């Protein structure tokens, strides 16, 4: 008999108190009026916790606090080794509060508890540890040059870009906050984090841990709110030097236009429609499990979800049978139920959008193999869905569905599947499944995407740069590239 994880008393107390905004080191109410919203548990549709939502005056206060903390060097005046210790301390505190953070991720965002605990929370701690090391390793370089009869000693140094706004999506708030915040702090920036009001409780708890770790007042400010209001104000704000955004390509375009006022620096991790390519020589058990996890994990609400499946024709029918059996066997349920294998979508409106795209795919000629329907009853569940015999022009093939929906297509040759994989406005990620090294290397070399896996899908690592080609974004996160994205390069020429 399946058991249900019991939420800790600490988490219950956290949920019972209305959560405020973190501005200049203090938790506070909205300035203009008591602007509040309720976080909903997507597994039940019921209210979970009352949130304070930022308004225009709160945005101004958060930007001013971040600006003052940066200009007064509250963070930068600390020795690099001291900043490194602070980031290590944050990682330790995340691990100490791992159960509570995982419970908040599960209740607020619909994640499976085990996945949140061993995946999102553990990854967040790893990200802070990895980037802590960069605090003491931001080295410059030097050389001597000559221009005419003048000789110069030159040195180049990296300096923090300034105040950065980190705009966080609802589908992985804790991991995405760590993903952006750790390199920003390692580079010496002050920040404003804007998590989605749909799922931000773990980010607010992270704010408490940052204060406990000794991060100076104003260096990190957290203001939940909508993208249309708070996000837009941050994107256009002239006192902000950098935006790091994860979300839809459509919103990314709005940010590009808003950021033009002061030409602020941008890192944009946008939409994806990642291909999973299975060659006939692949380990079919490994590939079926990996492809299923790549699209149904997180209920498909993952930017790198392998939502376009290409299978070599010789094994197409057999592989679809394996995959559809795996999909039908998945047990939908709340993340706290230890027998659940796939959780809910984030909201009823999002589920409606997923359902509409599935219906459109069937109307355009795709064959429904399994799933395809919203689940009746409490919560925002949607069946794991496979649409077979899809064609390149179908809406379900071209648009990011962001749900547990897979479109499957057969192919004959490597040239054919590479052309099909590249026939997308997106280029975020993808995977290749084969036992042949030459096939793997040739295919990955020719696919236009920012991150590719061979015989795996969706595995992140803090040291590996992440970002997309084409309309999947600008710039890279993680690794040394993340540090570079939060710094400016200064060159100094000293005449000898």
Active-site residues, by number, are 269, 303
182 and 128 Cβ atoms separated by less than 8 Å: yes
Does the CA dihedral 251-241-244-480 come out positive or negative?
positive
* Nearest residue to 274 (alpha-carbon basis) of 90, 149, 420, 75: 420
Strand pairing class (308-312; 405-411): parallel
201 CB contacts (<8 Å, ≥6 apart)?
Answer: 14, 15, 19, 39, 48, 49, 104, 107, 108, 173
The CA-CA-CA angle for residues 329, 343, 311, to 5°, reads 50
Instruction: Name the DSSP class of 30.
Output: -
Greatest Cα-to-Cα distance within the chain, rounded to the nearest angstrom:
85
146 and 277 Cβ atoms separated by less than 8 Å: no
The DSSP code sequence of 47-77 is EEEEEE---HHHHHHHHHHHHHHHHTTTTTT
The CA-CA-CA angle for residues 274, 104, 340, to 5°, reads 60
- Rounded Cα–Cα distance for residues 175 and 336 (Å): 19
Q: How far is CA 298 from the centre of its chain?
A: 12
* Nearest residue to 298 (alpha-carbon basis) of 457, 145, 81, 90: 457
Q: How far is CA 324 from the centre of its chain?
A: 28
Helices of type H across 213-312: 232-236, 249-258, 284-296
Does the CA dihedral 248-254-260-264 come out positive or negative?
negative
Residues in the chain: 496
245 and 252 Cβ atoms separated by less than 8 Å: yes
- Rounded Cα–Cα distance for residues 280 and 310 (Å): 11
């Amino acid at each position: 008999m399946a058991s249900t994880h019991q939420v800790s008393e600490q988490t219950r107390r956290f949920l019972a108190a209305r959560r405020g905004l973190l501005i200049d080191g203090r938790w506070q109410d909205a300035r203009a009026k008591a602007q509040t919203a309720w976080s909903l548990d997507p597994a039940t549709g019921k209210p979970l916790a009352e949130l304070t939502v930022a308004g225009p005056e709160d945005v101004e206060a958060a930007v001013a606090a971040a600006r003052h903390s940066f200009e007064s060097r509250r963070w930068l005046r600390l020795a690099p080794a001291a900043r490194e210790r602070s980031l290590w301390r944050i990682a330790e505190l995340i691990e100490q509060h791992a159960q509570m953070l995982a419970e908040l991720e599960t209740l607020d965002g619909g994640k499976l508890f085990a996945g949140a605990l061993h995946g999102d929370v553990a990854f967040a701690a790893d990200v802070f540890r990895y980037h802590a090391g960069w605090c003491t390793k931001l080295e410059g370089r030097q050389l001597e040059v000559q221009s005419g009869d003048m000789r110069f000693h030159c040195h180049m140094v990296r300096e923090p870009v300034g105040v950065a706004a980190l705009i966080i999506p609802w589908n992985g708030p804790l991991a995405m906050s760590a993903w952006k915040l750790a390199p920003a702090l390692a580079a010496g920036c002050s920040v404003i984090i804007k998590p989605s009001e749909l799922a931000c409780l773990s980010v607010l708890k992270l704010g408490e841990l940052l204060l406990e770790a000794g991060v100076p007042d104003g260096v990190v400010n957290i203001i939940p709110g909508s993208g249309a209001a708070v996000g837009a104000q941050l994107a256009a704000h002239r006192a902000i030097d950098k935006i790091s955004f994860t979300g839809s390509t459509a919103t990314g375009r709005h940010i590009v236009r808003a950021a033009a006022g002061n030409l602020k620096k941008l890192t944009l991790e946008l939409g994806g429609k990642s291909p999973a390519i299975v060659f006939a020589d692949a380990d079919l058990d490994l590939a079926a499990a990996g492809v299923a996890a790549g699209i149904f994990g997180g209920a498909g609400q993952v930017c790198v979800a392998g939502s376009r499946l290409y299978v070599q024709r010789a094994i197409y029918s057999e592989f679809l049978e394996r995959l559809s059996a795996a999909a039908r066997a998945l047990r939908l349920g709340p993340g706290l139920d230890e027998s659940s294998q796939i959780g809910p979508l984030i909201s009823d409106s999002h589920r409606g959008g997923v359902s509409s795209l599935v219906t459109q795919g069937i109307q355009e000629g795709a064959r429904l193999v399994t799933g395809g329907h919203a689940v009746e009853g409490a919560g925002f569940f949607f069946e794991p869905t496979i649409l077979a015999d899809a064609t390149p022009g179908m809406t379900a093939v071209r648009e990011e569905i962001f749900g547990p929906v897979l479109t499957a297509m057969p192919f004959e040759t490597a040239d054919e599947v590479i052309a099909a994989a590249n026939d997308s406005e997106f280029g975020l990620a993808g995977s290749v499944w084969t036992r042949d090294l030459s096939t793997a290397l040739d295919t990955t070399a020719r696919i236009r995407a920012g991150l590719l896996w061979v015989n795996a899908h969706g595995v992140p690592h803090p040291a590996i740069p992440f970002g997309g080609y084409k309309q999947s974004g600008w710039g890279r996160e993680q690794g040394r590239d993340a540090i570079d994205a939060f710094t400016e390069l200064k060159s100094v020429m000293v005449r000898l």
